[in-house]
């Protein structure tokens, strides 16, 4: 059997959905995580523990449109500029892997859906990456109303059948034919283990059938600072707030999202406070602070107002609970490359669909 690496959000995590269809014809390494955008896909591509699976992959599938629209429109207010920049980072990295790639556009209609989906189409064309566009398929077949019934989580059986067709026809996904000269930024993943730790830390190892992580607990009286990261910016963060005992919560999703804690990143120029909830989550740090010797990472023990938000931290709920700790896995850092030319939003039309190049369009696989 061929090997597939799957990157995405909760539609890729759903047990009876996309991944089940893929597994009928391929071995699948599932690196997806619910509630996350393309930046989490890139983060997983850079994690040391995933390198063997990535090198052995016959196809890498990425889907993130639905979460980008949710994180842009609900609570977090993730900007279109950040979404587009991070998508470029992801697709540049996928292009440089010289492997068959499948960009999967799941159908979803939400504010600014056309511009966000067009970002994916534009970059697929530019980098010559295969694409399966379910949004366009629903449009062409006049079943948009059907797709809208299911919101962010599409009907599992539909995604399952799409996955089955992709895996069954894996050999039609080709490596990009483009020859592009690209100057990449540098990325770095920094965990508390390789940071300067001030004070004592409780360390936990939450794990289940999909995830296995090492968590350091920030609480009153301890803090972290960075080593050897000058010139880098913090663009993302991975956290998993556990129960007080260090166990994975057994609370339902709705309640778990209202159990929140905030992290505080502070230096001379910035004071960034961002909440997450009792979920395994990866999110953007939108302020993208520069790392220097003065940057301190701590639990928000001063109860400062949040300066950024996360889509699945529901602080507005009357039954919210504020935790007395913050459980951190890692930061995702980027060192910009001045030679790298990034596209800006002006290249993306907001009123018409970008047409996908015929030689990369695999949408005919949709049942």
* Domain coordinates in residue numbering, the chain: 2-182+345-365, 186-335
Residue 170 CA to residue 294 CA, distance in Å, equals: 49
CATH dotted code for 186-335? 2.60.120
Distances in Å between the Cα of 27 and the Cα atoms of 60, 171, 257, 295 are 12, 15, 32, 43
Residue 322 CA to residue 293 CA, distance in Å, equals: 30
Residue 199 CA to residue 316 CA, distance in Å, equals: 33
Neighbours of 161 (CB within 10 A): 18
Q: How much is the pLDDT for 111?
A: 87
Residue 118 CA to residue 351 CA, distance in Å, equals: 10
**If pLDDT is split at 50, 70 and 90, which confidence band does 273 have?**
very high
Q: At how many degrees (to 10) do helices 113-127 and 65-73 cross?
A: 140
Q: How much is the pLDDT for 293?
A: 86
Domain at 2-182+345-365, CATH class: alpha beta
Strands 280-284 and 233-240 come out as antiparallel
The predicted model gives 179-198 an average pLDDT of 96
Q: How much is the pLDDT for 117?
A: 97
Contact 167, 21 (CB under 8 A): yes
Residue 241 CA to residue 279 CA, distance in Å, equals: 6
Residue 8 CA to residue 153 CA, distance in Å, equals: 12
Phi, psi angles (nearest 5°) of residue 276: -130, 180
- Helix, strand and coil content of the chain, in percent to the nearest 5, comes to 30, 25, 45
Q: How much is the pLDDT for 223?
A: 98
Nearest in space to 23 (alpha carbons), one of 51, 61, 52: 61
- More confident site: 269 or 85: 85
Where are the alpha helices (H) located in the chain, listed in sequence order?
10-13, 18-23, 38-46, 51-55, 65-73, 80-96, 113-127, 134-140, 144-148, 156-168, 253-256
**If pLDDT is split at 50, 70 and 90, which confidence band does 150 have?**
low
CA dihedral for 94, 99, 105, 106, sign (positive or negative): negative
Q: Which of 135-139, 198-202, 287-291, 351-355 has the lowest mean pLDDT?
A: 135-139
Contact 4, 60 (CB under 8 A): yes
Residue 165 CA to residue 180 CA, distance in Å, equals: 30
Asked whether this chain's domains 2-182+345-365 and 186-335 adopt the same fold, the reply is no
Q: How much is the pLDDT for 137?
A: 80
Q: Percent of the chain, pLDDT > 90?
A: 89
Q: How far is CA 48 from the centre of its chain?
A: 17
Q: What is the value of pTM for the model shown?
A: 0.96
């Amino acid at each position: 059997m061929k090997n597939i690496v799957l990157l995405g959000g909760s539609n890729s995590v759903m047990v009876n959905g996309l991944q089940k269809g893929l597994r009928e014809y391929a071995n699948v390494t599932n690196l997806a995580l619910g509630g996350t955008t393309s930046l989490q896909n890139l983060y997983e591509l850079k994690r040391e523990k995933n390198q063997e699976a990535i090198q052995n992959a016959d196809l890498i599938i990425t889907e993130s449109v639905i979460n980008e629209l949710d994180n842009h429109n609900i609570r977090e207010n993730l900007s279109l500029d950040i979404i587009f920049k991070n998508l470029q980072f992801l697709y540049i990295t996928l292009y440089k892997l010289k492997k068959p790639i499948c960009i999967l556009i799941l159908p979803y209609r939400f504010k600014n859906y056309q511009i966000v989906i067009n970002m994916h189409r534009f970059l697929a064309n530019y980098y010559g990456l295969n694409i399966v566009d379910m949004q366009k398929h629903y449009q062409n077949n006049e079943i948009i109303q059907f797709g809208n019934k299911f919101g962010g989580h599409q009907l599992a059986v539909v995604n399952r059948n799409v996955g089955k067709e992709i895996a069954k026809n894996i050999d039609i996904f080709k490596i990009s034919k483009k020859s592009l000269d690209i100057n990449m930024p540098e990325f770095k993943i920094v965990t508390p283990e390789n940071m300067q730790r001030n004070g004592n830390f409780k360390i936990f190892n939450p794990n289940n059938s999909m995830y296995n992580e090492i968590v350091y607990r920030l609480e009153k009286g301890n803090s972290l600072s960075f080593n050897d990261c000058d010139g880098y910016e913090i663009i993302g963060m991975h956290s998993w707030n556990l129960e007080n005992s260090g166990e994975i919560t057994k609370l339902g999703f709705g309640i778990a999202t209202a159990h929140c804690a905030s992290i505080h990143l502070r230096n001379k120029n910035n004071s960034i406070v961002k909440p997450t909830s009792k979920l395994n989550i990866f999110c953007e740090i939108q302020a993208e602070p520069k790392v220097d010797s003065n940057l301190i990472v701590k639990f928000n023990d001063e109860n400062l107002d949040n300066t950024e938000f996360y889509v699945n931290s529901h602080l507005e709920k009357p039954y919210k609970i504020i935790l007395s700790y913050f459980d951190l896995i890692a930061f995702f850092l980027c060192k910009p490359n001045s030679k790298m030319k990034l596209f800006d939003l002006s290249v993306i039309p907001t009123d018409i669909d970008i047409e996908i190049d015929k030689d990369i369009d695999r949408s005919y696989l949709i049942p």
